[in-house]
Chains A and B, each alone.
Chain A
Amino acid sequence: MRRHLRWLLPLAALPVLALLAYGLTRSTFVLPSALVGQPAPDFRLETLDGDTIQLADHRGKAVLLNFWASWCIPCRAEHDVLIRTSRTYPPTDLAVIGVVYQDSRANAMTFMRGLGGDWPSVLDPSTRIAIDYGVYGVPESFFVGPDGQVAFKHVGALTWDLVESKVDSLLARRDPALSRAPSSEGS
């Protein structure tokens, strides 16, 4: 019995230690999105300028959906990356759409005017779209493929390297359908 215990106890402790070690290497702030691989929830919302945007209208191209707020410091930090993104990729390849999270139209407009950027941002009154996307803070960004499925979610400020690699991979996947995409959007 004693001889067995001498081996059994450390062996029993091993999985527990492995579990703890795994837990220590994980960031508790970043949660994997349940939406990856699922169709991106559609929405039809008013932009800061008073236009209306429907996500489904952007089928056939990649979409970078960025949840942000004027009161969010990391959003300020990632803004230059978004400007670079919108200038690098033509609108036929990538649509950058901002979703204003728990913020007023006036504050959001002041933010955009101050920092620049010409991509549209929609207002999300009562946070329903954010809940639809499982957002729990800002900034959060969703990379939606040309097929309308969520390919990747990033929590925190975006970096150029990340945006470039994700968008390029989405566009590379789109290539076979590239010629069809504009015609289907023609209406």
Chain B
Amino acid sequence: MRSRTIRGLLVATALLAIGPVSPDPSHTAIAQEAGRSSSLSDAELDDLAAQVASELRCPVCRNQAVGESSAELSREMQAVIRERLAAGDTPEQVKDYFVARYGEWILLKPEARGVNLLVYVLPVLTFLIGGLIVWRLLKRWSGGSAGRPAATVTVGGTASYAEGASELGQEAPEAASAEAAPAAGDPKAQLSERDEAWLERAVSEG
């Protein structure tokens, strides 16, 4: 029962869809008289024109599409697009019309052929090669020094240096075990002392 209702609805929808397509004789006559003419409705033409306008560059604003621009030239171009579509041009033919006048520059999305292919291929290629280099470097770094602690950088520096040294099974130097009393000659210790002083200053100053 239910399936019959659904079938009925489907048939009705199909009939409604076919309805507008069946040509009005008077309309067909006008279209034939005018030579080429689009069979699209006004709303369809508007949609198609908007789509073409979104793919063309506004020659005045440069970084905007013709469809988004309020420049007078763009508005005229929108009118040209719609007129050409209404006259029976395909969207490709309309775009070709503008390319023949403004060059391929007028297309916001360059066509993927010839030198333009670089635009599409290079980013992927660069990403792949870069990824390969990073992967190889990471692999080498991790493989070459397995026992080294991951994080040896702390503000103090000396403590982690000591920890790192002990983890590697080495004896920690005197300066490191003495915590905040670094040896004068040790550049690393000097650096950590300066870091601490800077941090204290930064904290007190807010």
- Which residues of A are in contact with B by a Cβ distance under 8 Å? 1, 5, 12, 28, 31-35, 38, 102, 126-128, 130-137
Residue of B nearest to A5 (CB): B133
Q: Give the chain A neighbours of B101 by CB distance below 8 A.
A: 34-35, 131-134
* Docked complex Cα distance between A133 and B50 (Å): 23
Q: Give the chain B neighbours of A134 by CB distance below 8 A.
A: 59, 101-103
Residue of B nearest to A12 (CB): B129
Q: List 11 A-B contacts (CB under 8 A).
A: A1-B136, A5-B133, A31-B102, A34-B100, A102-B73, A126-B76, A127-B73, A130-B73, A134-B59, A134-B101, A134-B103
Partner pick for A131 among B80, B105, B129, CB 8 A cutoff: B80
Binary contact readout B80-119 vs A (1 if CB under 8 angstroms, 0 otherwise): 1000000000000000000111111100000000000000
* Docked complex Cα distance between A137 and B71 (Å): 11
Q: Give the chain A neighbours of B104 by CB distance below 8 A.
A: 34
* Docked complex Cα distance between A34 and B100 (Å): 6
B57 CB, min distance to chain A CBs, angstroms: 10
Size band of the B side of the interface?
10 to 19
13 new A-B contacts at CB < 8 Å, known A102-B72, A127-B72, A134-B103: A32-B103, A33-B103, A34-B100, A34-B102, A35-B101, A126-B79, A127-B76, A133-B101, A134-B101, A135-B59, A136-B60, A136-B102, A137-B59
B172 within 8 A of A: no
* Docked complex Cα distance between A5 and B132 (Å): 12
* Docked complex Cα distance between A102 and B77 (Å): 13
Q: Give the chain B neighbours of A35 by CB distance below 8 A.
A: 100-101
> Is the CB–CB distance between B60 and A137 below 8 Å?
yes
* Docked complex Cα distance between A31 and B99 (Å): 13
> Is the CB–CB distance between B76 and A34 below 8 Å?
no
Q: Give the chain A neighbours of B99 by CB distance below 8 A.
A: 34
A134 CB, min distance to chain B CBs, angstroms: 4
* Docked complex Cα distance between A35 and B62 (Å): 19
